[in-house]
Amino acid sequence: MKKFEGTFVVTVTPMDSKEEIDSEALKNNVEYFIENKVHGIVVGGSTGEFVTLSIKEHKAIINDVVKQVNGRIPVIAGTAACSTNRVIELTEYAKNAGADGAMIVPPFYSKLNENELFEHFRTVAENVDIPIMLYNNPWTTKVDMQPSLIARLAEIENISYVKESTGDITRIWKILSLAGENITVFCGSDNIALESFIMGAKGWICVAANFIPKQVSRLYELACIERDFKKAQVLYKRLLPSLNFLEDTGKFAQLAKAGLEIVGRKAGPVRKPLLPATDKELQMFTTILNKIQQT
């Protein structure tokens, strides 16, 4: 079983002008990510617009990415849904397709209490034997899994990871102090990555890895492998304008796709109801990325 650590790109789902999935572009982007030394790939995450995909489409992109990666780096499949049975179906499909793990955000329509959340994840974990990464993102789900709940869930054997996306840097040490070695924390907010590594995070689910994969992967290596925080800080300051722009606008799928196009890859439009970034945002973002590429 592969241990998940490092910078994992949460890949976009490329689409054509009719908002149909562009499988070839997805596979080509996988090669681009691997060539640029990402440590893993997440398919079917928020930036991959999973909420707009049919079950058939969701399964197809999981299958495409797993086959293209072919065991070279870990693949984590986003398998979230509002129904526990649907999550089990997607997670079982991901396992059978060859995914190395599943990333699951809480059901995002019903306002579940802590016991309902616990039973949801427990049921999935007991039905599908695959490493599970909890995904705590209260900004989109309106559900905030507290450190105490995460520690409780981490006692379940195959719940071993959490993507922490509250933006609250103190959550990392709170989770680790309660769960200890039962859990590995991944940073889920692009503009607190270095701070998260310092606080004990061992990985980063990264939107910016779509368009600056080499740089964000190198940041993890400097901070967590080489422990050279001086060099890490220099690199981080170079990258922060792009990371802050993502977080400040909240247009993760739009800007990740735009960023890929800026660096010469295919990504296409976002699927409605999302609308593309504005011309002003694209102009600002292009300027930011060009400056990063030049330094």
DSSP string, 107-147: PSSS---HHHHHHHHHHHHHHS-S-EEEEE-HHHHS----H
Bridge-partner residues for 75, per DSSP? 41
Q: What are the residue boundaries of the structural domains of the chain, listed by start?
A: 6-294
pLDDT digits (tens, 9 = 90+) for 138-175: 999 899 999 999 999 999 999 999 999 999 999 999 99
Q: How many C-beta atoms lie closer than 10 Å to residue 123's C-beta?
A: 14
Q: What is the pLDDT of residues 59-93, one digit of tens each?
A: 999 999 999 999 999 999 999 999 999 999 999 99
So which residues are the catalytic ones?
A: 135, 163
Answer yes or no: pTM beyond 0.75. yes
CA gap 158, 184 in Å, rounded:
12
**Rama region for 110: left / alpha / beta (φ>0; ψ in -120 to 50; rest):** beta
| Spatial contact of 255 and 233, defined as CB atoms under 8 Å apart | no
The CATH architecture assigned to 6-294 reads Alpha-Beta Barrel (3.20)
Phi and psi for 167 in degrees, rounded to 5?
85, 0
